[in-house]
Amino acid sequence: MSVETLTTVGPELLELVPGLQFDHEELAKAYQQYIERVPMPASGKEEDRLRRLGLTHRVGAEDPWRDAGNGQYDQETGEKNFEEAEFSVFNEELEDTYFHEIYKSLPFRPGRMRLVTLHPGEIYHMHTDHSRVAHMSIQTNEDCRLLFRTGHTYHVPTDGRIHILNTKLHHSAYNAGGSDRVHLTMTLAD
């Protein structure tokens, strides 16, 4: 089974940020630091502690750790909840991590910068986003794919590179493997 590459998926669906590659081991270490530091949510439930994890937040956010985990659109009304550019603050409690180095090195202005886990057997519904979304894989398996309505699939490898996907097009993501997929996602604010 061959993995889709930039040349087979096509530049209309994906671009790799040229000349920028991060150390995957440092990325994995930063993820562990985050997991160790993230506080309990307002619900007080342990099962909610690792949900909706954000690195950026809006000014005055009640919960800077989870503010970026909210959806941009209300699922019932379709109304927009916020603009990506509002997520202009990096969580100060994470400024000593590799995530902050990545944030400062980005060649684009990020909005929501999040840690997104897709558990084995999970799949997202087909949808479109208002902006393109950059992905960096922290943990994955060969059976984790982004799926475009065109039928193209793409596996984001743990290569330390930034993969910008055209999520303005209909797409989904699934994990048909046996281990979690964890991506650092960064929505392009402009």
Structure-token match 């797409």, residue found: 171
DSSP code of residue 81: -
| pLDDT tier for residue 169 given thresholds of 50, 70 and 90 | very high
- From residue 130, how far is each of 3, 117, 127, 188 by CA, in Å? 27, 21, 10, 10
Q: What is the CATH number of the domain that holds 131?
A: 2.60.120.330
**What is the pLDDT, as a whole number, of residue 103?**
98
- Of 59 and 81, more confident: 59
**What is the pLDDT, as a whole number, of residue 8?**
56
Indicate if the pLDDT at residue 2 is higher than 60.
Answer: no
Q: Which one-letter amino acid corresponds to residue 88? A: S
Q: Is residue 70 part of a domain?
A: yes
Q: For the chain, give the mean pLDDT.
A: 91
Domain count, the chain: 1
Structure-token match 């000014």, residue found: 59
Q: Is residue 5 part of a domain?
A: no
**What is the pLDDT, as a whole number, of residue 5?**
46
| pLDDT tier for residue 190 given thresholds of 50, 70 and 90 | confident
Q: Is residue 2 part of a domain?
A: no
116 token code pair: 């997104």
The 144-148 sheet, strands edge to edge: 153-154, 144-148, 171-175
Instruction: Give the predicted TM-score (pTM) of the model.
Output: 0.91
Q: Is residue 31 part of a domain?
A: yes
Q: Is residue 30 part of a domain?
A: yes
Phi-psi region of 98 (alpha: psi -120 to 50; beta: other; left: phi over 0): alpha
- Domain of residue 86, residue span: 12-37+53-188
| CB-count burial class (<10 Å; 0-12, 13-18, 19+) for 144 | buried
Q: Is residue 168 part of a domain?
A: yes
Torsion, Cα of 136, 88, 29, 14 (10° steps): 0
Question: Which run of H or of E encompasses 7?
Answer: helix 6-9
Q: Is residue 6 part of a domain?
A: no
Q: Is residue 90 part of a domain?
A: yes
Torsion, Cα of 111, 147, 18, 25 (10° steps): 80
For Cα atoms 140, 18, 142, give the angle at the middle one, nearest 5 degrees: 15
